[in-house]
Amino acid sequence: MTTRHGKVRWRLRRSGKKDVMLPGEPHTAEFDEAYQNAVLGRPAPVVQMPGSASPRSLKAAYRLLKKTDEWLALDDKSSTRYQQTIERILSMPAGGKMMLGDGPVEDLKRSHVKSILSAFRDTPHMERIVLICLRKLIMVAIDEEWIEVDPTYKMTRNPQTDGHKAWPLEIMAKYEARWEVGTRQRTAYALALWLGNRVSDITRLRWDHQTTKHIAADGEIHTVDGFEFVQFKGRKRGKKLFLPMTPMLDRELAPLSRDTETVLVSSRGGAYTDGSLSTRMADWCRDAGIEPGYTMHGLRKALGVKLAEADASTRQLMEILGHKNIAYAELYSREASQTRLAVKAMEKVTKIEEARSSRKFRS
């Protein structure tokens, strides 16, 4: 037969049997083998096409994972990171010409998982992400009933890190001395510090988010101005927050025009992207003579420290910073309590030692 593209293809037709397409040209090894298989009723050999996935393999689990609600709800940054990591895992050698992604999930043992993780031991954060990605693939396999046991059960990889540095008072003073109130550099700083917002919320904060609430407290009705918005978390719906307008933030925003859509406006007159704002903050800190390492998220952390030092409860910390995990909020409280208790304890020791020294000199 001749296709519509002018290509000649050969087909074996037999009465009462299904037609069989024959590859190649007559009298070639490929053609003759396919012809003999068809005549004798032998199944044609299965050819693994590039990019295809073997049944119940890690690669097949990955294909199913990308169709799940969990995956579709990821923001672009997370999905890209997980995709790159999973594809790197699947392409790892597994003996011969086989790659890890070609093997059945049921053959993946705990020892294999440890071996995979060991390849990333020099970068603890990457090792943790690899474990997260493997677990996602395994959960798909369990959900599909390909396996019953999770080989990553109770495995943890939690690298020790101090995370983003909270801005101390001297660094804040340095930044404020360089950038005046009313500049975009100062506005970005003030929004991060006095609202405790993530970068993704700062770039999207609009003037129409500003509202007034009437709140009953201590037997009285209080009128409170602030911003009300839903946290941005990619495709997932974040938590709805109302954050009061403190006098500190009110002074910072007072010179700004209300004719723009977003509170923070770039030099081009539009909103910043999350990535560009983080990059610009690094530039602004450098221009202020501040050493690298102080970030927008560090200002959010600085507010957490201030709240904890003011004896804010764990619940209050969670509501202001938008944390769902109580462990994050408790971290601020513990650090502030440790500092406060240590100072008070050493003040007592100092007072005792000074009294002892004064008695010694008198004698």
Whether residue 232 has pLDDT greater than 60: yes
Phi, psi torsion values for 196, nearest 5 degrees = 70, 30
Q: What's the rounded Cα separation, in Å, for the pair 328 and 335?
A: 11
pLDDT in tens, 150-165: 999 988 876 655 567 8
Token pair, residue 282, equals 């690094």
Token pair, residue 74, equals 């990821």
Mean of pLDDT values over 25-40: 81
pLDDT at 220: 86
Q: Choose from 150-154, 311-315, 346-350 the range with maximum mean pLDDT.
A: 150-154
pLDDT at 36: 83
Q: What's the rounded Cα separation, in Å, for the pair 26 and 324?
A: 68
Token pair, residue 299, equals 């200002």
Mean of pLDDT values over 121-127: 82
3-state helix, strand and coil shares in percent for the chain, rounded to the nearest 5: 50, 10, 35
pTM value? 0.58
Q: What is the pLDDT of the chain when averaged over all its residues?
A: 84
pLDDT in tens, 65-98: 999 998 988 878 788 899 999 999 999 988 777 8
- For 43, 107, 114, the CA distances from 146, given in Å and listed in that order, are 26, 11, 21
253: pLDDT confidence band, cut at 50, 70 and 90?
A: very high
Classified by CATH at the fold level, domain 169-338 comes out as: hpI Integrase; Chain A (1.10.443)
Q: What's the rounded Cα separation, in Å, for the pair 183 and 6?
A: 68
pLDDT in tens, 258-307: 999 999 999 999 999 988 999 999 999 999 999 998 999 899 888 888 88
- For 156, 217, 308, 310, 335, the CA distances from 317, given in Å and listed in that order, are 27, 18, 8, 11, 13
Q: Write the DSSP assignment of 154-206 as a string of letters.
A: T---------SPPPPHHHHHHHHHHS-TTSHHHHHHHHHHHH---HHHHTT-B
Specify whether the CB–CB gap between 205 and 262 falls below 8 A.
yes
57: pLDDT confidence band, cut at 50, 70 and 90?
A: very high
Mean of pLDDT values over 310-338: 69
Q: What angle do CA 351, 352, 355 make, to 5 degrees?
A: 85
Q: Write the DSSP assignment of 227-291 as a string of letters.
A: EEEEEEETTEEEEEEEEE--HHHHHHHTTS-SSSSBSS--TTSSPPPHHHHHHHHHHHHHHTTPP
Beta bridge partners of 225: 212
Each domain of the chain, given as residue ranges in start order, spans 1-47, 58-143, 169-338
pLDDT at 176: 97
pLDDT at 324: 65
pLDDT at 335: 62
Q: Which of 58-62, 98-102, 144-148, 174-178 has the lowest mean pLDDT?
A: 98-102
* DSSP state for residue 6 in the 8-state scheme: S
Specify whether the CB–CB gap between 176 and 188 falls below 8 A.
no
Largest CA distance in the chain: 124
Mean of pLDDT values over 182-203: 93
Q: What's the rounded Cα separation, in Å, for the pair 186 and 10?
A: 74
Q: Which residues contact 13 (CB under 8 A, 6 or more apart)?
A: 19
- What is the DSSP pairing of strand 236-244 with strand 220-233? antiparallel
218: pLDDT confidence band, cut at 50, 70 and 90?
A: confident
Whether residue 233 has pLDDT greater than 80: no
Question: Which carries the bigger pLDDT value, residue 353 or residue 336?
Answer: 353
